[in-house]
């Protein structure tokens, strides 16, 4: 199984940007944990991060027929990007949306997610563990031996 892990704007600043909100783990830490955890699940994880919406849209489009699923933390684009939503809908890959913080406990404008409309599931508020939970969920849901619908 191949999973594309996408991180949006400002996530390259993890570890130094508001550590009291986002934690002290860097993006490299997060990516390393995801690649290692994916390996234990038999999943190949490719990690990408961009501060540019068009680049993220391009990666999503390129994922069509190359990846089995997408995990995305769209950062601030969560609340504003119809383009990312449309790209996810177009490729129609199983998608899990991840947020380090609980977006519903934050400012009201953060409560709405365009990306959620294309996601199988949303994990928010679990910190870095949310990414690992997303991999676990995809491994279970996409398993060829799965006997129960999630």
Q: pLDDT for 54-67, tens place per residue?
A: 999 999 999 999 99
| Mean pLDDT in residue range 100-109 | 74
Give, in order, the Cα–Cα distances in Å from 73 to each of 9, 21, 31, 68: 9, 15, 12, 17
pLDDT computed for residue 48 by the predictor: 98
Burial pattern 74-106, b for ≥16 Cβ within 10 A else e, equals: bbebbbebeebbebbeebebbbbbbbbbebeee
Q: Which two tokens stand for residue 12?
A: 């390259």
Active-site residue, 22 included: yes
Active-site residue, 140 included: no
Element (H, E) at 82: helix 82-91
Share of the chain above pLDDT 90, in %: 74
Marked catalytic residue, from 22, 67, 114, 131: 22
pLDDT at residue 21 above 70?
A: no
| Mean pLDDT in residue range 30-40 | 98
Marked catalytic residue, from 37, 67, 77, 99: 99
Among 34-38, 91-95, 117-121, 144-148, the minimum mean pLDDT is found in 144-148
């Amino acid at each position: 199984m191949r999973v594309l892990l996408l991180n949006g704007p400002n996530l390259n600043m993890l570890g130094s940007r508001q550590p009291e909100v986002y934690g002290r783990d860097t993006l490299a830490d997060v990516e390393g944990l995801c690649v290692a955890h994916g390996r234990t699940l038999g999943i190949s994880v490719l990690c990408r991060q961009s501060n540019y919406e068009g680049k993220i849209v391009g990666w999503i489009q390129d994922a069509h027929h190359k990846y089995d699923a997408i995990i995305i933390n769209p950062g601030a684009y969560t609340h504003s990007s119809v383009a990312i939503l449309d790209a996810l809908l177009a490729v129609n890959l199983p998608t899990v949306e991840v947020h380090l913080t609980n977006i519903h406990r934050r400012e009201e404008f953060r409560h709405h997610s365009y990306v959620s409309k294309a996601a199988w599931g949303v994990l928010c508020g679990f910190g870095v563990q949310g990414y690992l939970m997303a991999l676990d969920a995809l491994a279970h849901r996409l398993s060829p031996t799965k006997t129960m619908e999630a």
